[in-house]
Structure 1
C-alpha cells in the first residue's frame, strides 16, 4: 500500500508586519503598506514562513504543498525543494485580503489536510471568513497584531507542530479564537479587540499561544510599588537612557512620572524627562548608540511574550545594544501566575539572540521585590 502525501495548504501574506518596526501600528490597508515600503520596510513574512517550513525539511517526501503564486507561497516552496501545486493567482500585483480569501477557497476545493498561513490578526480574519470549521489551520506569527489563539508562539514552533501532525503524533484539535483590533483606534493608543470567529488548531500547548488577556492591571498598589522601583533606578542612573516599552504596566510607570506615554509604542526617557515619543527601531538605534541604556518592558498576560508581539520597534539590534543585564522586566505576580507555569517567550526574529536571552530572568514584581522566572530557549523546546 502506497501512503498518500500529506496535503499541506500554504498562504503567505507577504505584507504582514511590514509596519511594525516603523511604528505604523499595523499593516492593514494599501496606504499603510505603500508608506512602509517607501520608508524602506522589509517584507519579513516569507522569511518567517521559511523558518517554519525548515522544521519539516526532512519530510519533503511525505508532503505536497498547495499554495498561491509568487510571494504568497510559490516562490518559497520552490526555493526549498518542496513538491507543490499552485492553486490560486492574484489578479493584482500587490496582494490584498481578498487574495487571502481567494486562496483559502482554493484550499477548500483541494481538501488539504491542514492550512498553514503566515500573517497577523487581519490575515487570520480573512482565513476564518472562508475556512471556519471546515479544516484545521495553523498560523505562523508574522504580523504586528497577534491576539488570536490560532498562532504558534514562534515560526519555528509552528513548524514543529506541523512536523508532529504530518507524522501522526497529534490527532486532537482545539477550537481557537480569532481576534482582531481596530487599527485606527490602535494608532490613537486605544485597544478595541473583539472575537471574529473560531478555527480548529492542532493541540500542543508548548507551541500554541493563548489568547491575549484584555484589560489593565487592577491592583494599583502593586503597580505603584513597581513604578517606585523603576523610578528609583532612574534616579540612580540619571545619565542613562530608558527605553519605555508598550503595555499598560509600563504605561503606569509613565503616569507616575507624570509623562505623556505612547501606550502602544516605544518612548525614550532620560533623567525622568521625556526625550522622544513613538520611536521606530532605526530612531531608537540612532539615540542609544553612544549612551548607556536600560529597557523597561512587561510581558503579555496569558501568553508570556516579552519581544515580538506589538513591540517590533525593539529590534534585535536594539536589544543587543541594551544587553540582557539592562532589561528591566516588570509585572505583577498575578500576571506571572496567569501563565500557569509556562515560560516567558522571546520571538525577536533573531534565533541566536532569543537563545542568548533564555534562562532565568529577574522580574520586578514590587518595590525591591523580584522573582526569577524562566525565559524559554525555543530551540530546545521539542527536546523537553
Structure 2
C-alpha cells in the first residue's frame, strides 16, 4: 500500500490576515489568535489530500489531532498516528521535528508538510541528511523556499504525479530559504539559504525560490508612480508589501513599510497621507472602495497569497475587485519571469478564477503590458 506522510504546523499562517507577519514562536501565535485570527493550515492540508485521494486510497502516516490526523479524516482518508504532542502544551517546532522523524521512520513514499518557511527549516533539521521525498503545502505567511507547491490543490496534483510516476517525474534538490532579518533591518527583503530537500520536479506546479531584492532606484519607478497617481486621482490606495511598491510610495512622497500593507490617501497636487500603516484585514474591510496596488514577488511571480494575506478575498472584493487592482512591475522584473504567469493563491477558488486571465501591468508612465494571471 502507498504510504504518504503528513505533518501540519497548525499555527502556520495565523499572523497573515491580522498583520503580524509570520507566526514563528508561540508568543506570536497567541497574539494572532487574540486578534481574531483563524487557523487555515488544516483546511489547506485537507485540500491537498483531497486532490491526492482522487482514485487512490493511500495510508497517511501522521501525527495526532491538528498536527495531521484531523485534516486526514476531513479528506476521508485513513490515518496511522505515530506521534502525539504532550497534552497542555502549545505545539512547537520541537513537535514538528519529532513528528517528522516518527513519520519518516515508518517508511513513506512522500512526506507532505503544511506550513511556511519556518516549518520547512524544522523539516530540514529533523531529516538531518535522511533523503526522503518532500513537498510543502503552502500555509504560511512567507514562503521563500522552493520546496512548496504553488497552491494546496497543486500539492495534491504533484503528490499524485510522483506516486503514480506519471510524466517521468523526478526529484530535484530544492532550496530551503527563510527571510534574512539583518537585510530587512537595512531596508531590503532578502532570503538566506539553509539547505536543500528533494522535491518532485513538476514545472509550474512547484514554486520557484524567491530572489533577493535590490534597492529600487527612483528613476526605475518614477513613471509607474506617475501612472498610479493619475489612475487613482483623489482616493484611497492600498499598497502591498515589497521593494517596488515602497519605492513607488517614496516617489509619491510617502514613507511606507517594507513588509506590511499600508493605506494612502491621494489628492492631486499634495503628497499622500498615510491613513493606516501595516493594516490588518479588518482595517481594509472598513475602507470601502479603494485602489489596490501590488507588485509580484521576484523570481516566484506570486501576486496574491504570499506575504500579503491581509488583502484577503473579502478585502479585495470590498475594495472593488479586479477593476480596482493595479499591478506594478518594472520591465526588468517582468522580463525575468520568462513568460511564467503571475500567480494567485488567495484560498478562494472563485476569486482566483475571476482574477485569472490577462491583466494590464503598469511598467511606466502610459506604459502597460498585458500579462497573464493564473490561480
Which interval holds the TM-score relative to the shorter structure?
A: over 0.9
Q: Label 1:338 to 1:332 Cα distance change in 2 as closer, same or farther (>3 A).
A: same
2:32 paired residue number = 36
**Aligned to 2:6, which of 4, 10, 13?**
10
Distance 2:3 2:205 in 1: 22
Shifted more, 310-319 versus 335-344: the winner is: 335-344
Shift of 1:336: 1.2
- Long gaps (5+) in structure 2: none
Shift of the 183–22 alpha-carbon distance from structure 1 to 2, 3 Å rule, reads: farther
Distance across 2 between alignment mates of 1:192 and 1:345: 20
Map of 2:242 onto structure 1: 247
1:308 is matched with 305
Q: Is the 8 A contact 1:281 1:313 kept in 2?
A: yes
Of 82, 88, 93, 2:83 maps to: 88
User: Is 1:150 equivalent to 2:147 in the alignment?
Assistant: yes
Q: Equivalent residue for 2:211? A: 213
- Map residues 45-194 of structure 1 onto 2, 5 A cutoff: 45-61=41-57, 63-92=58-87, 93-131=89-127, 132=129, 134-169=131-166, 170-181=168-179, 191-194=189-192
Tell me the CA shift for residue 40 of structure 1: 1.3
Of 236, 252, 270, 1:257 maps to 252
Output the CA distance in 1 between the equivalents of 2:189 and 2:7: 27
Pair 173,121 (structure 1): closer, same or farther in 2 beyond 3 Å: same
TM-score (norm 2): 0.93
Gaps of 5+ in 1: 379-384
- The answer as to 2:343 corresponding to 1:345 is yes
| Alpha carbons 2:360, 2:369 under 8 Å: kept | yes
Kindly provide the CA deviation profile for residues 74-125 of structure 1, in whole angstroms up to 9, marking residues without a partner as x.
Answer: 1121233212210111124321000110011112311211100000000000
Stretches (4+) displaced over 3 A: 182-192, 217-220
Cα deviation digits, residues 222-275 of structure 1 (max 9, x gap): 3121112112223xx21x211111111110111112212011111111122221
**What is the CA–CA distance in structure 2 between the aligned matches of 1:160 and 1:194, rounded to whole Å?**
29
Describe the SS at the equivalent of 2:55.
helix
Aligned to 1:285: 285
Whole-Å separation in 1 of the counterparts to 2:184 and 2:277: 16
Give yes or no for contact 1:24–1:187 (8 Å, CA) kept in 2: no
Rounded to whole Å, the distance in 2 between the matches of 1:187 and 1:17 is 22
Structure 2 Cα separation of the partners of residues 60 and 186 of structure 1: 45
Structure 2 counterpart of 1:330: 328
Name the CA distance, whole Å, in 2 between partners of 1:97 and 1:184.
Answer: 22
| TM-score, length basis structure 1 | 0.91
3-state secondary structure, aligned to 1:325:
helix
Q: CA RMSD in A?
A: 1.8
Change (3 A) 1:191 1:341: closer
- Contact between 2:188 and 2:214, CA under 8 Å: does it hold in 1? no
Q: Which moved more, 1:174-183 or 1:252-261?
A: 174-183
Counterparts of 1:138 and 1:198 in 2: how far apart (Å)? 12
- How far apart are 1:58 and its partner, in Å? 2.1
Conserved in 1, the CA contact under 8 Å of 2:114 and 2:139? Answer: yes
Cα distance in 2 for residues equivalent to 1:178 and 1:316:
28
User: Offset of 1:311 from its aligned partner?
Assistant: 0.4
Q: Deviations for 1:163-220, whole angstroms, at most 9, x for unmatched residues?
A: 1112221441111000112569869965352111100000111101100011225564
Between the two proteins, the alignment pairs up a number of residues equal to 366
What is the distance in 2 between the residues matched to 1:331 and 1:371? 10
Cα distance 1:247–1:313, how it changes in 2: closer, same or farther (>3 A)?
same
CA contact (8 A) 1:11 1:67 kept: yes
Is the 1:25–1:183 Cα contact (8 Å) retained in structure 2? no
